[in-house]
Amino acid sequence: MTNEIELIITIAIMVAEAGLIALCYYRAKQPADPLKPRIINYGLIMVLMTLIFLATLAHAVSLITGTQVKPRRRRGL
């Protein structure tokens, strides 16, 4: 029961993150106003939100499969 709730919360967070990425993309593509300089770097925020989205996606995969996502290692080292 708690896994389903955690999965629903994780998916809701992923939707919110995707919305923030889309908003930053929209704001970054607008032409700059020379009289009003931008204080926020939307490109940087978009990159950081994408990294957070990928981490949340890995968490969702671990909730669905029941095992933790591990990095691949070469054997023999």
pLDDT at position 69 over 80: no
Backbone angles phi, psi at 33, to 5 degrees: -95, 120
Greatest extent of the chain over all pairs of C-alpha atoms, in Å: 60
Q: What pLDDT band is residue 37 in, cutting at 50, 70 and 90? A: confident
Do 52 and 17 touch, CB atoms closer than 8 A?
yes
For residues 12-35, give the mean pLDDT: 94
Q: How far is the C-alpha of 50 from the C-alpha of 57, rounded, in Å?
A: 10
DSSP lists the bridge partners of residue 36 as: 33
On average, the pLDDT of the chain sits at 89
